């Protein structure tokens, strides 16, 4: 998508996506006290010291994949969350899910892409772990990697709209949020009815 090639677009989308994932992770961190959550290969022994924002900025800087890959990665993360309700995104797994989703998206979308060893270095993990994460992520998605133009536009339009709202005066934001509530908008999209819709990092 040509619009994504605009140098002013992607940094703002990355910032909003980071904020969205941060809120989701924090919410599920609280929920895990009351509801059991499955531990998977994506879970670290402790919370990574690097923030989600800085981690996603790092991936964006070094992955050298097409901008569309980040939209597709967002679609994959949403699919994964819906298909694996016992594995919600939280502070212990969000970083590994991010690097894996972007890598898988790049392999599916781009004609040329880096190998697993490169993405492992970007993500601050070993190549062996990167390989395991990729396999588990693919099975978690049920190998449903295709993203139709309609689905892509639905997710991109949502990210674009919310990014623009963050840059608006509070009065306009509140007005738009009220409209969103009245239309019963959700963060997770139903794809079956989408027509209605070299620094080292340790993680």
The number of beta carbons lying within 10 Å of the beta carbon of residue 166 is: 11
pLDDT of residue 15: 87
pLDDT of residue 107: 94
Range of the domain at 21: 12-147
Ranges of residues in the chain whose predicted pLDDT is under 70? 1-7, 32-38, 166-203
Q: Is 188 a member of any domain? A: yes
| Residue at token pair 């979308």 | 109
pLDDT of residue 201: 53
Q: Is 102 a member of any domain? A: yes
> What letters, b where the CB count within 10 A reaches 16 and e where it falls short, cover 28-59?
bbeeeeeeebeebebbeeeebebebeebbbbb
pLDDT of residue 32: 63
Q: Is 203 a member of any domain? A: no
Q: CB neighbours of 124 closer than 8 A, spacing ≥ 6?
A: 50, 200, 201, 202, 203
Q: Which residue from 170, 103, 112 is spatially nearest to 135, judged by alpha carbons?
A: 103
Q: Is 69 a member of any domain? A: yes
CATH assignment of the domain containing 86: 1.10.472.10
Q: Is 5 a member of any domain? A: no
Please tell me whether residues 164 and 126 are part of one structural domain.
no
From 130, 147, 164, give the residue that closes a domain. 147
Please tell me whether residues 138 and 191 are part of one structural domain.
no
pTM given for the model: 0.78
Please tell me whether residues 75 and 174 are part of one structural domain.
no
């Amino acid at each position: 998508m040509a619009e994504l090639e605009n140098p002013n677009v992607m940094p703002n989308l990355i910032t909003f996506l980071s904020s969205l994932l941060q809120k989701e992770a924090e919410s599920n961190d609280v929920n895990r006290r009351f509801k059991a959550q499955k531990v998977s290969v994506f879970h670290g022994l402790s919370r990574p010291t690097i923030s989600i924002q800085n981690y996603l900025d790092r991936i964006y800087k070094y992955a050298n994949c097409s901008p569309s890959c980040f939209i597709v990665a967002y679609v994959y993360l949403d699919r994964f969350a819906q298909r694996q309700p016992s594995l919600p995104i939280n502070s212990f797994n969000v970083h590994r899910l991010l690097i894996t989703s972007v890598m898988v998206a790049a392999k599916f979308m781009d004609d040329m892409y880096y190998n697993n060893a490169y993405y492992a270095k970007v993500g601050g993990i070993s190549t062996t772990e990167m390989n395991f994460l990729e396999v588990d992520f693919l099975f978690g998605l049920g190998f449903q990697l295709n993203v139709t133009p309609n689905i892509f536009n639905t997710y991109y339009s949502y990210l674009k709209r919310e990014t623009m709202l963050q840059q608006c005066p509070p009065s306009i934001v509140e007005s738009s949020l009220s409209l969103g509530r009245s239309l019963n908008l959700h963060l997770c999209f139903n794809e079956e009815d989408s027509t209605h819709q070299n620094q080292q990092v340790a993680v």
